[in-house]
Protein backbone atom coordinates (compact mmCIF):
# COMPACT_ATOMS: atom_id res chain seq x y z
CA UNK A 1 0.00 0.00 0.00
CA UNK A 2 1.19 3.57 -0.66
CA UNK A 3 2.37 5.49 2.38
CA UNK A 4 -0.09 8.19 1.45
CA UNK A 5 -3.14 8.09 -0.76
CA UNK A 6 -5.69 10.85 -1.12
CA UNK A 7 -9.39 10.30 -0.66
CA UNK A 8 -10.00 10.93 -4.37
CA UNK A 9 -11.23 7.70 -5.95
CA UNK A 10 -9.46 6.12 -8.92
CA UNK A 11 -11.38 6.51 -12.16
CA UNK A 12 -12.38 3.29 -13.89
CA UNK A 13 -10.36 2.11 -16.90
CA UNK A 14 -11.46 3.65 -20.15
CA UNK A 15 -10.79 3.37 -23.86
CA UNK A 16 -8.47 4.83 -25.07
CA UNK A 17 -5.99 3.51 -22.48
CA UNK A 18 -5.48 5.41 -19.25
CA UNK A 19 -2.47 7.69 -19.01
CA UNK A 20 -0.67 8.35 -15.73
CA UNK A 21 2.31 10.57 -14.95
CA UNK A 22 5.06 9.50 -12.55
CA UNK A 23 7.19 12.31 -11.13
CA UNK A 24 10.34 11.13 -9.31
CA UNK A 25 11.04 13.85 -6.74
CA UNK A 26 13.22 12.15 -4.14
CA UNK A 27 16.52 13.57 -5.37
CA UNK A 28 18.75 15.59 -3.04
CA UNK A 29 20.17 17.80 -5.79
CA UNK A 30 23.83 17.30 -4.85
CA UNK A 31 25.08 18.93 -8.06
CA UNK A 32 22.86 21.94 -7.40
CA UNK A 33 24.00 22.47 -3.81
CA UNK A 34 22.17 23.98 -0.87
CA UNK A 35 20.07 22.54 1.94
CA UNK A 36 16.68 22.49 0.18
CA UNK A 37 16.32 20.00 -2.71
CA UNK A 38 15.97 22.04 -5.90
CA UNK A 39 12.47 20.74 -6.69
CA UNK A 40 11.20 22.39 -3.51
CA UNK A 41 12.82 25.77 -4.09
CA UNK A 42 10.32 28.56 -4.63
CA UNK A 43 10.21 30.86 -7.65
CA UNK A 44 7.65 33.67 -7.44
CA UNK A 45 6.32 32.05 -4.26
CA UNK A 46 5.67 28.63 -5.81
CA UNK A 47 7.72 25.43 -5.58
CA UNK A 48 9.42 24.22 -8.78
CA UNK A 49 7.72 20.85 -8.29
CA UNK A 50 4.34 22.59 -8.13
CA UNK A 51 4.94 24.19 -11.54
CA UNK A 52 5.81 20.75 -12.91
CA UNK A 53 2.74 19.10 -11.44
CA UNK A 54 0.47 21.82 -12.79
CA UNK A 55 1.52 20.92 -16.34
CA UNK A 56 0.05 17.44 -15.90
CA UNK A 57 -2.92 18.68 -13.87
CA UNK A 58 -3.90 20.85 -16.86
CA UNK A 59 -3.25 18.17 -19.49
CA UNK A 60 -6.61 16.76 -20.55
CA UNK A 61 -5.20 13.38 -21.56
CA UNK A 62 -3.50 12.70 -18.21
CA UNK A 63 -5.72 10.81 -15.78
CA UNK A 64 -3.55 10.58 -12.67
CA UNK A 65 -0.28 11.76 -11.14
CA UNK A 66 1.97 9.75 -8.82
CA UNK A 67 4.88 11.40 -7.01
CA UNK A 68 7.82 9.51 -5.53
CA UNK A 69 9.47 11.54 -2.78
CA UNK A 70 11.45 11.29 0.43
CA UNK A 71 9.17 10.39 3.32
CA UNK A 72 10.03 13.60 5.18
CA UNK A 73 8.72 15.61 2.22
CA UNK A 74 5.25 14.02 2.23
CA UNK A 75 3.67 16.75 4.42
CA UNK A 76 5.06 19.47 2.15
CA UNK A 77 3.65 17.79 -0.97
CA UNK A 78 0.27 17.16 0.63
CA UNK A 79 0.15 20.83 1.63
CA UNK A 80 0.63 22.20 -1.85
CA UNK A 81 -1.51 19.45 -3.34
CA UNK A 82 -4.38 21.18 -1.56
CA UNK A 83 -3.05 24.71 -2.08
CA UNK A 84 -2.84 24.38 -5.86
CA UNK A 85 -5.86 22.06 -6.22
CA UNK A 86 -3.84 19.23 -7.75
CA UNK A 87 -6.76 16.80 -7.94
CA UNK A 88 -4.92 14.35 -10.20
CA UNK A 89 -2.19 13.85 -7.61
CA UNK A 90 -3.66 10.77 -5.99
CA UNK A 91 -0.70 8.78 -4.72
CA UNK A 92 2.60 9.67 -3.07
CA UNK A 93 5.09 6.84 -2.62
CA UNK A 94 8.44 6.77 -0.90
CA UNK A 95 11.34 7.22 -3.28
CA UNK A 96 14.44 5.05 -3.36
CA UNK A 97 18.18 5.56 -3.37
CA UNK A 98 18.32 5.98 -7.15
CA UNK A 99 15.87 7.59 -9.58
CA UNK A 100 15.29 4.10 -10.96
CA UNK A 101 14.17 2.88 -7.55
CA UNK A 102 11.76 5.80 -7.15
CA UNK A 103 10.12 5.24 -10.53
CA UNK A 104 9.81 1.51 -9.86
CA UNK A 105 8.17 2.13 -6.48
CA UNK A 106 5.60 4.33 -8.21
CA UNK A 107 5.16 1.93 -11.10
CA UNK A 108 4.24 -1.06 -8.96
CA UNK A 109 1.65 1.05 -7.09
CA UNK A 110 -0.09 2.11 -10.29
CA UNK A 111 -3.35 0.31 -11.02
CA UNK A 112 -2.87 -0.18 -14.75
CA UNK A 113 -3.57 -2.53 -17.62
CA UNK A 114 -0.79 -3.61 -19.97
CA UNK A 115 -1.78 -1.15 -22.73
CA UNK A 116 -2.08 1.89 -20.45
CA UNK A 117 0.59 4.57 -20.86
CA UNK A 118 3.07 5.70 -18.22
CA UNK A 119 4.67 9.13 -18.47
CA UNK A 120 7.88 9.68 -16.48
CA UNK A 121 8.94 13.31 -16.12
CA UNK A 122 11.68 15.02 -14.13
CA UNK A 123 10.45 17.02 -11.14
CA UNK A 124 12.84 19.84 -12.07
CA UNK A 125 11.59 20.40 -15.64
CA UNK A 126 8.79 22.86 -14.82
CA UNK A 127 8.32 24.51 -18.23
CA UNK A 128 7.26 21.50 -20.32
CA UNK A 129 5.22 22.97 -23.21
CA UNK A 130 1.73 21.59 -23.67
CA UNK A 131 2.45 20.95 -27.36
CA UNK A 132 5.52 18.84 -26.56
CA UNK A 133 3.56 16.69 -24.10
CA UNK A 134 0.63 16.23 -26.50
CA UNK A 135 2.95 15.25 -29.35
CA UNK A 136 4.78 12.72 -27.15
CA UNK A 137 1.51 11.14 -26.02
CA UNK A 138 0.41 10.83 -29.66
CA UNK A 139 3.75 9.21 -30.55
CA UNK A 140 3.46 6.72 -27.67
CA UNK A 141 -0.12 5.82 -28.57
CA UNK A 142 0.98 5.09 -32.12
CA UNK A 143 4.29 3.33 -31.42
CA UNK A 144 4.16 2.06 -27.83
CA UNK A 145 6.69 4.56 -26.49
CA UNK A 146 8.04 8.08 -26.95
CA UNK A 147 11.33 9.66 -25.94
CA UNK A 148 11.33 13.45 -25.96
CA UNK A 149 14.62 14.71 -27.41
CA UNK A 150 16.08 17.97 -28.68
CA UNK A 151 18.37 17.83 -31.70
CA UNK A 152 21.72 19.53 -31.13
CA UNK A 153 22.10 22.92 -32.83
CA UNK A 154 25.55 24.00 -31.65
CA UNK A 155 28.87 22.83 -33.02
CA UNK A 156 29.93 19.84 -30.93
CA UNK A 157 33.35 18.42 -30.23
CA UNK A 158 34.65 15.48 -28.26
CA UNK A 159 37.74 16.15 -26.18
CA UNK A 160 40.39 13.47 -25.72
CA UNK A 161 43.86 13.67 -24.17
CA UNK A 162 45.53 14.29 -27.52
CA UNK A 163 42.99 16.02 -29.74
CA UNK A 164 39.50 17.40 -30.25
CA UNK A 165 37.12 15.57 -32.57
CA UNK A 166 34.14 17.35 -34.09
CA UNK A 167 30.86 15.47 -34.00
CA UNK A 168 28.10 15.42 -36.59
CA UNK A 169 25.42 17.42 -34.78
CA UNK A 170 22.69 16.06 -37.08
CA UNK A 171 23.17 12.73 -35.30
CA UNK A 172 23.28 14.09 -31.75
CA UNK A 173 20.22 14.63 -29.54
CA UNK A 174 19.79 15.91 -26.01
CA UNK A 175 17.53 13.52 -24.13
CA UNK A 176 14.76 15.19 -22.13
CA UNK A 177 11.64 14.03 -20.39
CA UNK A 178 8.80 13.13 -20.54
CA UNK A 179 9.52 9.58 -21.54
CA UNK A 180 6.35 7.61 -22.23
CA UNK A 181 5.95 3.84 -22.38
CA UNK A 182 3.23 1.26 -22.49
CA UNK A 183 2.88 -0.15 -18.99
CA UNK A 184 3.86 -3.73 -19.87
CA UNK A 185 6.97 -2.49 -21.75
CA UNK A 186 8.17 -0.38 -18.86
CA UNK A 187 7.42 -2.87 -16.10
CA UNK A 188 9.21 -5.64 -18.00
CA UNK A 189 12.25 -3.39 -18.50
CA UNK A 190 12.41 -2.51 -14.80
CA UNK A 191 12.09 -6.12 -13.71
CA UNK A 192 14.87 -7.16 -16.10
CA UNK A 193 17.12 -4.40 -14.78
CA UNK A 194 16.37 -5.34 -11.18
CA UNK A 195 17.10 -9.01 -11.83
CA UNK A 196 20.39 -8.17 -13.53
CA UNK A 197 21.29 -5.41 -11.01
CA UNK A 198 21.59 -2.87 -13.82
CA UNK A 199 21.19 0.83 -13.04
CA UNK A 200 20.49 3.15 -15.96
CA UNK A 201 20.33 6.92 -16.19
CA UNK A 202 16.76 6.96 -17.50
CA UNK A 203 13.82 4.77 -18.49
CA UNK A 204 14.63 4.66 -22.21
CA UNK A 205 17.96 2.99 -21.43
CA UNK A 206 16.15 0.23 -19.55
CA UNK A 207 13.56 -0.31 -22.27
CA UNK A 208 16.20 -0.40 -25.00
CA UNK A 209 17.90 -3.25 -23.13
CA UNK A 210 14.77 -5.33 -23.78
CA UNK A 211 15.35 -4.88 -27.56
CA UNK A 212 12.40 -2.53 -27.97
CA UNK A 213 12.76 0.23 -30.54
CA UNK A 214 12.66 3.68 -28.97
CA UNK A 215 10.69 6.30 -30.89
CA UNK A 216 11.79 9.93 -30.71
CA UNK A 217 9.46 12.88 -30.18
CA UNK A 218 10.47 16.52 -30.58
CA UNK A 219 11.43 18.43 -27.43
CA UNK A 220 11.87 22.12 -26.67
CA UNK A 221 14.62 24.42 -25.35
CA UNK A 222 12.07 25.60 -22.78
CA UNK A 223 11.93 22.09 -21.39
CA UNK A 224 15.29 22.45 -19.64
CA UNK A 225 16.15 20.80 -16.34
CA UNK A 226 17.08 22.84 -13.26
CA UNK A 227 20.52 21.40 -12.53
CA UNK A 228 22.69 24.42 -11.68
CA UNK A 229 22.29 27.89 -10.21
CA UNK A 230 22.43 29.28 -13.76
CA UNK A 231 19.41 27.14 -14.68
CA UNK A 232 17.53 28.53 -11.69
CA UNK A 233 18.39 32.08 -12.73
CA UNK A 234 17.13 31.39 -16.25
CA UNK A 235 13.87 30.00 -14.87
CA UNK A 236 13.40 33.12 -12.75
CA UNK A 237 13.93 35.36 -15.77
CA UNK A 238 11.48 33.40 -17.92
CA UNK A 239 8.77 33.38 -15.26
CA UNK A 240 9.39 37.05 -14.52
pLDDT tens-digit series, residues 186-197: 999 999 999 999
What would the pLDDT profile of 103-115 be if each residue is shown by its tens digit? Answer: 999 999 998 999 9
Average predicted confidence (pLDDT) for the chain: 91
* Assessment of whether the complete model's pTM goes beyond 0.85: yes
Find out whether 126 and 108 touch, Cβ atoms under 8 Å: no
Contacts of 123 (CB under 8 A, 6+ apart): 23, 24, 25, 27, 39, 48, 49, 52, 67
Domains along the sequence of the chain with CATH: 14-233 (3.90.550.10)
Closest listed residue to residue 187, CA positions, set 99, 69, 96, 105:
105
**What sections of the chain are H helices per DSSP?**
48-58, 74-83, 99-109, 130-143, 183-196, 203-208, 229-239
If 0-12 CB within 10 Å is exposed, 13-18 middle and 19+ buried, where does residue 237 land?
exposed
What element of type H or E holds 126?
none
Amino acid sequence: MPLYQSTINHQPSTIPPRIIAIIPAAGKGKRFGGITPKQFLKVNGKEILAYTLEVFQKAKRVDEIIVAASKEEFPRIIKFQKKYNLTKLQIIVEGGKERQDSVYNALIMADLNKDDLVIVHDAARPLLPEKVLASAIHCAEKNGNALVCLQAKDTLLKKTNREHTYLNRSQVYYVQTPQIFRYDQLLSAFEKAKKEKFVGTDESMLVQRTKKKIHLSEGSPLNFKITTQDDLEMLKRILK
